[in-house]
Amino acid sequence: MNVSATPTVRIIEQNLPSGGHIKSFVYTPYEKACYDEAFQADVEGESQAVKAARISSVPKGGIVTINFETRKTNIVETESWVYVVTDDSGKELYRRRGLPSIASPGGRDGLYNFDALLIPVKLPESFRINIISRSQNAQNVYQISNGRSAMASL
């Protein structure tokens, strides 16, 4: 497995209200997350049983971490977000509401927050991540191709 391969990341739609933006998102596919867990277990000198448990806890679809920045508190309150993962034809594969989290001071715009999606279903080589703000009536859509690690700084 080539865990450092560069995928294609394409912004389909980016529409956040004035004063806020998605700073970055990181997609770590299942294979890379398993590799990372095994490596960390080895570094920490964990037993083979603990290492196996860590690897088995990795979600089959991988992990997506989204970082938000804004000047307005309500834009980065992650509980107002909905995350929808679809295949390229639009078929929904996974959906989750944002978890309650309070924005922290920092970042270029004054406030930041993040959320992580542990995607329990295996994903195709190419898929879309739709990030929808229920409170701001805005949507951002990103397409990941090649199913490898992806980071987009926006």
Question: What is the domain-level CATH number for residue 77?
Answer: 2.60.40
Q: How many domains does the chain have?
A: 1
Domain assignment present for residue 125? The answer is: yes
What is the pTM assigned to this prediction?
0.78
Domain assignment present for residue 2? The answer is: no
- Residue 73: its pLDDT value, please? 61
Domain assignment present for residue 128? The answer is: yes
| Pick from 4, 7, 5, 14: nearest CA to 131 | 14
Domain assignment present for residue 51? The answer is: no
Domain assignment present for residue 140? The answer is: yes
Domain assignment present for residue 65? The answer is: yes
Q: pLDDT tens digit string along 119-132?
A: 999 999 889 988 88
Partner residues linked to 127 by β-bridges: 87, 144
Residues lower than pLDDT 70 in the chain: 1-21, 72-77, 107-109, 135-137, 146-154
The set of residues, in sequence order, having a beta carbon less than 8 Å from that of 26 and lying 6+ positions away, is: 63, 64, 65, 149, 150, 151
Domain assignment present for residue 36? The answer is: no
Q: Alpha-carbon distance 61 to 65, whole Å?
A: 13
